[in-house]
Amino acid sequence: MTLNIDIERQQTDILILGTGGAGMFAALHAQQTAPAGTKITIAVKGLIGKCGCTRMVQGGYNVALGGGDTVERHFMDTINGGKWLPNQDIAWKLCEQAVIRVRELENEVGCFFDRNSDGSLHHKAFAGQTADRTVHKGDLTGIEIINRLMEQVLSRPIEKLQEHRAIGLIPTKDGSALAGVLFIDMRTGKFRFVRAKTVMMGTGGGPTMYKYNTPSGDKTMDGLAMALRAGLPLRDMEMVQFHPTGLLAGEHTKMTGTVLEEGLRGAGGQLLNGAEKRFMFDYDELGERATRDVVSRGIYEEMRKNNISKNGGVFISMAHLGPETVRKKFSGMVKRCADSGFDLASGLVEVVPTAHYFMGGVVVDSDTRTAMEGLYVAGEDAGGAHGSNRLGGNGVANSTVYGGVAGDVMGRDICKMITLRDPDEGILNEEIKRALRPLSLKVGNVQKLRHRLQEAMWEDVGVMRTEIGMMRGMARVADVKADLLETGVANDNLAFNLTWHDWLNMDSLCDVSAVIAKAGIARENSRGAHFREDFPESGSMINSYFTLTQKKGDKICVTREPVQFTIVKPGETILPDHEPATLVGV
Amino acid sequence: MIRPHRKHSLWLAYILHRISGFCLAVFLPFHFYLLALALTEPDRLDGFLSWTDTPIVKLAEFGLVFLLAVHFFGGLRLMALEFFPWSTSQKTLAALAIASAFLVATIFFLQVI
Amino acid sequence: MSTKQEDIDVSVWRGDPHSGNYENFKVPAQESQTILDVISWIQQNQDATLSYRFACRVGMCGSCAMMVNGIPRWTCRTHLNKVLNGNKLVVAPLRNLPVIKDLVTDMDPFFDKWIAAEGLHHPSKTRLDPIEEIEPKSIGRVEIDTGIECINCSICYAACDTVTNNSDYLGPAALQRAWTVYNDVKDADKQTVLDAVSGDGGCLNCHSQGSCSVHCPNDLNPMNAIAGLKRATVASLFSRKG
Amino acid sequence: MNIRLYVLQRITALIMAPLTLGHIAVMIYAVQDGLSASEILGRTQGSIIWFLFYGTFVVAVSIHAAIGVRVIVSETFKFVGFTLDAFAWFVLLAMLFMGGRAVLAVTLL
Ligand SMILES: Cc1cc2nc3c(=O)[nH]c(=O)nc-3n(C[C@H](O)[C@H](O)[C@H](O)COP(=O)(O)OP(=O)(O)OC[C@H]3O[C@@H](n4cnc5c(N)ncnc54)[C@H](O)[C@@H]3O)c2cc1C
Ligand code: HEM
Ligand code: SF4
Ligand code: F3S
Ligand code: FES
């Protein structure tokens, strides 16, 4: 194919990808830290603040800000929750800076988190933690955070590229540094290459290659797929967190997979199988109140035994708590279910485990720097903070803390970077060719491929894994990818052509799916979200390793790296001796 | 045909208020003109006043009083809404205003008949 | 709905900023089907070039609003049964905003006005200060709570005829946000807010049509908030004179 | 709509409200008693009270209606700037003139 297309070219000093917690905070902090006159550009696949998952945060934000809670305790919970796999420096900074970030959100950005009746900050309990430390705004915390951030970003002199989809990280000729990012302006279908001295990637991962998933529709692993192609090392790529109760309403509706909140089980909600019998106590003594991964596996087991509801899941039942109580206490959820045609307050609602969060990501240091000069990564795209399991409430803390860190670091680093770098035009052309590929092929149905990919990942690389399964999964993914490369998209109008973007979404999802399976095979033990039926033990803690994936030439290589216990070793704690093990319920 | 997004009492109250206000603004100068006739030609005024006894004019008069009543109560409703932090359902107030308007106008109508 | 599949007749507006018309599709009816599902089905199975916008699919992001049988609605949370008119469905881009393509509108004017209304926090403190103690039952907070859960979906903006008739009018959502800022004890610059909303395109243009409050999917009440701004505006006029 | 116009419209409305009620009462009374035009005029003419009553109403209604029509015209026909102001002033003056004549006719002479 000859490349005869016009690319619009422009430049900026600081370029930010994504407008979740990471992207928005990067923009605000860069603006505060960078010298006057620095040009800042924010580019996003959707509309500013109206896409991504930060907006969807329900539960809240973990921060050690009262009730006897300390940064040390938050840190220990994070390390324990991650089963000793987190990068401890990153986890420490997360817990430490969250305190400042929440104050910044309240005092500078204008968020308001719920208060106790005496006016002090309210902290709620989130499972798996030893203190009530989650601040929140009702169960719509994300809307409060992102709306307030959005206003601040929109009111500042920051260049906005909305509905601009990043499709390639374009390095310099020698490959040592990043020159800029290639986009498709989705509204016109044209390519735009933006050169920048520093780029922060905050595209938010998003395990949407699973049949059931919670993230927003724009999240399709673009960032990690780009990083993979650029040869950056990725870590913990086998770690996919499942939320146990996703709504199940049939394959034809986008409602399927969306989260029914954790609090339902906490409040006494019961899980019933197809025969309307409670089953969680068969798997764990805590029943429905066990942790996310345990409950997800319980439901999955029940489904494998074919004790299933009409659409192939199980039921959640709240009615025994009294329909009125449920209606009052979970009004948002009841209303949402009702809108979709379900009666949560007094009926049965079908649920299924649903892919929720991706712990894996680009290897970064605690200043968000990556192996490539000029590229910074924060939020769900970055790996290391959570290890094998993310605590509820640590996701948004991570994206806002490290987005801000990235903004500050870029604002300072930019002073040392005098000129923009020149891109490797060859790679630029390669990326354009990759994106244009479907437009000259025979038209096919991309959606069918997506279903195939999602089935494969759900069945073979999902809640419970085996080597044989994952091998089969890898083969199925490769099959889908091969078919994708032969599936075309009509090229008559590229403006806002969602089908073309579905194709590109699939391309990213296939690449990262293959990596998840491969990294999953490499981890021969069970930790947190990664459960191997053929290796159910967690393995030696002191010899913990994490997986590192990198593309070398055409090959994907997965290696194991020992975890560095830079702050605390397994079996030890940094809490003072007299500290109780838990503050919850004390 | 009223477009679907407008089919609710608050919007109807709004459009009624606007139409009544506009019609009043158009009608009032005529009314003034009529009264001014008294300045020069009192007889024609008397002639007009007896003319108003015909049913069709009565109906028109009823219409005008209705307009004024509607606008009057609608205006009070609006100002109540704007000036007092509002608690009860707006819709009830709107309906009430229109109903009272009708009432006053009808009483007047019955009286003149 | 019956289990046998019936087809729904769907008319979808297609076009660009310059011209457009309705195109008809037949979509199989399903149980638990939202308007967004219907639109997606058309794009995935019948016309690959159909453009629309969504993100969260659970009523949180406010990107999926469209005119559904003439009423602005969040399509991801509107069940087909709720709006089906016989067997017919008419879907068009949101009113009062420029069209980009098909069902996608340019929401920039909506957000420009949000900022023009000073719908943003003006800090009185920094990240080094402790978090202020504010009683949830305090007057300002109670007032804010009635309007703060706005998802900026622009449905109220599409419903309001004053927006249609007066291109300067800031619109219900922006004004409602300004009202919450005005009531926030933490805000340092309420006068700026008041100045921004009492100007030419400001709150005084609202005729209390109420379509904003009637159609807001989150049951918010911008009409009420705007009335609050009117009061504050008038009060400040007299207090400045007096 | 600026604050001056807004406040003027509301104030005039508040002034008119009792006057309108009073007027309707007078009308009902007049019609009930079957008063003729000259009988009515006989009672109003030369009365400074009635002059102030209807005079105030005319001034208020002229301002109120001018502002009201101004809004309608600007929203419906997109009049702006000078055209709009000129139109509103015309309505105001026309109403004042017509109304003024009527008040004079009814109450003075
Ligand atoms: C339903 C739900 C509930 C959650 N609840 C909680 C909770 O209670 N507490 C908690 O701590 N965490 C929660 N999380 C997790 C939390 O939302 C995420 O961890 C966090 O918000 C991620 O932030 P981010 O900035 O990295 O990414 P996001 O907020 O997801 O933002 C990613 C951004 O990148 C953009 N983007 C994607 N691809 C591209 C591309 N190719 N080019 C340009 N832009 C692109 C997206 O459009 C989006 O704007 C929840 C997640 C979900 C889905
Ligand atoms: C009698 C007491 C009256 C009251 C309490 C009253 C009240 C009001 C109010 C509050 C408005 C503002 C409406 C808005 O902004 O949407 C208004 C508008 C208006 N009024 Fe009156 N009014 C009265 C009498 C009149 C009379 C006698 C006339 C005609 C001569 C009139 C003509 C108008 C017009 C044309 C409007 C503009 C309508 C609009 O903007 O939609 N009003 N009135
Ligand atoms: S007020 Fe309601 S309708 Fe308007 S933007 Fe906010 S949520 Fe949407
Ligand atoms: S619909 Fe419009 S006119 Fe006012 S009450 Fe709502 S903003
Ligand atoms: S898709 Fe987010 S509100 Fe509908």
**Separation of CA D83 from chain center:** 23
Question: How many angstroms separate the CA of residue C134 from the nearest CA in chain D?
Answer: 33
Is the CB–ligand 5 distance for residue C63 below 6 Å?
yes
- Which chains are within 8 Å of A by 3+ CB pairs? C
Residue B52: pLDDT band (50, 70, 90) is: low
Secondary-structure class of domain C108-241 per CATH:
mainly alpha
pLDDT of A329: 86
Distances in Å between the Cα of A299 and the Cα atoms of A274, A306, A352, C66 are 11, 11, 7, 37
Residue D38: pLDDT band (50, 70, 90) is: confident
Average of per-residue pLDDT across A415-427: 95
Going from the Cα of C77 to the center of ligand 1, the distance in angstroms, rounded, reads: 21
Mutate to test the pocket of ligand 1, among A16, A44, A50, A53 (most ligand atoms within 8 A of CB): A53
Going from the Cα of A335 to the center of ligand 5, the distance in angstroms, rounded, reads: 15
In CATH terms, the superfamily for domain C7-105 is Beta-grasp domain (3.10.20.30)
Nearest to C237 among D1, D7, D76 (CB): D7
- Structural domain that includes position D97: 3-107
Q: What percent of chain A clears pLDDT 90, i.e. is strictly above it?
A: 91
- Of A399, A457, A412, A553, nearest to A61 by C-alpha is A399
What would the two tokens of residue C120 be?
A: 């943003």
Chains B and D touch (3+ CB pairs under 8 A): yes
Total number of domains constituting chain D: 1
Going from the Cα of B4 to the center of ligand 4, the distance in angstroms, rounded, reads: 16
Average of per-residue pLDDT across C151-156: 98
Nearest to C60 among A55, A447, A496 (CB): A55
Query: Hey, are the CB atoms on C199 and D74 less than 8 Å from each other?
Result: no
pTM: 0.95
pLDDT of D29: 77
- Of C195, C204, C209, nearest to D7 by C-alpha is C204
ipTM of the assembly?
Answer: 0.94
C-side interface with B, Cβ within 8 Å?
67, 69-72, 95, 158-159, 161, 207-211, 213-215, 223-224, 227-228, 230-231
User: What CA–CA distance (Å, rounded) separates D67 from D13?
Assistant: 11
A209-268 tens-digit pLDDT: 999 999 999 999 999 999 999 999 999 999 999 999 999 999 999 999 999 988 899 889
Chains D and A touch (3+ CB pairs under 8 A): no
pLDDT of C1: 41
A32-51 tens-digit pLDDT: 999 999 999 999 999 999 99
Nearest to C214 among B10, B18, B78 (CB): B10
Secondary structure of residue B61 in the 3-state scheme: helix
pLDDT of C31: 85
> Which residue of B82, B89, B91 is the best one to mutate when testing the C interface, meaning the one whose CB has the most C CBs within 10 A?
B82
User: What CA–CA distance (Å, rounded) separates A416 from A408?
Assistant: 14
Which of chain A's residues have a Cβ under 8 Å away from the Cβ of C128?
A: 103
Q: Chain C within 8 Å of B14 (Cβ-Cβ)?
A: yes
Average of per-residue pLDDT across C76-85: 91
User: What CA–CA distance (Å, rounded) separates A1 from A18?
Assistant: 31
A260-299 tens-digit pLDDT: 988 899 889 999 999 999 999 999 998 998 888 999 999 9
- Which chains are within 8 Å of B by 3+ CB pairs? C, D
B13-44 tens-digit pLDDT: 899 999 999 999 998 888 788 777 766 676 76
pLDDT of B113: 47
Residue C116: pLDDT band (50, 70, 90) is: very high
pLDDT of C2: 42
Query: Hey, are the CB atoms on C237 and D3 less than 8 Å from each other?
Result: yes
Nearest to C149 among A140, A148, A187 (CB): A140
Q: Find the closest chain B residue to D91 by CA distance.
A: B25
User: What CA–CA distance (Å, rounded) separates A139 from A134?
Assistant: 11
Going from the Cα of D64 to the center of ligand 2, the distance in angstroms, rounded, reads: 7
User: What CA–CA distance (Å, rounded) separates C207 from B15?
Assistant: 10
Ligand nearest the Cα atom of residue A15: 1
Q: What is the location of CATH 1.10.1060.10 in chain C?
A: 108-241
Nearest to C165 among D6, D7, D76 (CB): D76
Going from the Cα of A455 to the center of ligand 4, the distance in angstroms, rounded, reads: 48
Contact D70, D88 (CB under 8 A): yes
Question: How many angstroms separate the CA of residue B94 from the nearest CA in chain C?
Answer: 11
C-beta neighbour count of A82 within 10 angstroms = 29
Query: Hey, are the CB atoms on B82 and C215 less than 8 Å from each other?
Result: no
Is the CB–ligand 5 distance for residue C57 below 6 Å?
yes
Query: Hey, are the CB atoms on B86 and C231 less than 8 Å from each other?
Result: no
pLDDT of A341: 83
Given the residues A265, A450, A465, A523, the one annotated as active site: A265
- Does residue B87 carry a pLDDT above 60? no
Is the CB–ligand 5 distance for residue C101 below 6 Å?
no
pLDDT of C239: 81
Residue A1: pLDDT band (50, 70, 90) is: very low
Question: How many angstroms separate the CA of residue C235 from the nearest CA in chain A?
Answer: 26
A549-561 tens-digit pLDDT: 999 999 999 999 9
Question: How many angstroms separate the CA of residue D62 from the nearest CA in chain C?
Answer: 20
Nearest to B108 among D24, D72, D102 (CB): D24
Residue C3: pLDDT band (50, 70, 90) is: very low
pLDDT of A5: 76
Residue B91: pLDDT band (50, 70, 90) is: low
D40-99 tens-digit pLDDT: 778 888 888 989 999 999 999 999 999 999 999 999 999 989 999 999 999 999 999 999
- Does residue A4 carry a pLDDT above 60? no
Residue A191: pLDDT band (50, 70, 90) is: very high
Q: Chain C within 8 Å of B79 (Cβ-Cβ)?
A: no
Averaged confidence pLDDT in chain B: 77
Which of chain D's residues have a Cβ under 8 Å away from the Cβ of C160?
A: none
Which of chain C's residues have a Cβ under 8 Å away from the Cβ of D2?
A: 199-200, 204
Going from the Cα of A390 to the center of ligand 4, the distance in angstroms, rounded, reads: 44
Q: What is the location of CATH 3.10.20.30 in chain C?
A: 7-105
Beta-bridge partners for C8: C27
Averaged confidence pLDDT in chain A: 95
Residue A114: exposure state from Cβ atoms within 10 A (0-12, 13-18, ≥19)? middle
Residue B65: pLDDT band (50, 70, 90) is: confident
C19-48 tens-digit pLDDT: 999 999 999 998 889 999 999 999 999 999
Residue D12: CATH number of its domain: 1.20.1300
Contact A233, A371 (CB under 8 A): yes
- Does residue A586 carry a pLDDT above 80? no
User: Chain D neighbours among C 110-169 (CB < 8 Å)?
Assistant: 162, 165-166
Q: Chain C within 8 Å of D21 (Cβ-Cβ)?
A: no
Query: Hey, are the CB atoms on C162 and D75 less than 8 Å from each other?
Result: yes
User: Is residue A386 flagged as an active site residue?
Assistant: no
**Which residue CA neighbors atom 3 of ligand 3 most closely?**
C216
Judging by DSSP bridges, how do beta strands C7-15 and C20-28 pair with one another?
Answer: antiparallel
Ligand 4 atom nearest to CA at B10: 5
pLDDT of D16: 94
Region B8-112: CATH code: 1.20.1300.10
Chains B and C touch (3+ CB pairs under 8 A): yes
pLDDT of C168: 95
C55-66 tens-digit pLDDT: 999 999 999 999
For the four alpha carbons of A460, A465, A469 and A471, in that order, the dihedral sign comes to: positive
Averaged confidence pLDDT in chain C: 94
User: What CA–CA distance (Å, rounded) separates A235 from C223?
Assistant: 51
Residue B49: pLDDT band (50, 70, 90) is: low
Question: How many angstroms separate the CA of residue D69 from the nearest CA in chain C?
Answer: 14
Contact A370, A363 (CB under 8 A): yes
pLDDT of B92: 67
A107-130 tens-digit pLDDT: 999 999 999 999 999 998 887 789
Going from the Cα of D74 to the center of ligand 1, the distance in angstroms, rounded, reads: 45
- Rg value, chain B, Cα: 17
User: What CA–CA distance (Å, rounded) separates A186 from A19?
Assistant: 16
Going from the Cα of C155 to the center of ligand 3, the distance in angstroms, rounded, reads: 6
- Does residue B112 carry a pLDDT above 60? no
**Which residue CA neighbors atom 5 of ligand 3 most closely?**
C152
User: What CA–CA distance (Å, rounded) separates A402 from A580?
Assistant: 30
Is the CB–ligand 3 distance for residue C119 below 6 Å?
no
For the four alpha carbons of D58, D64, D67 and D71, in that order, the dihedral sign comes to: negative
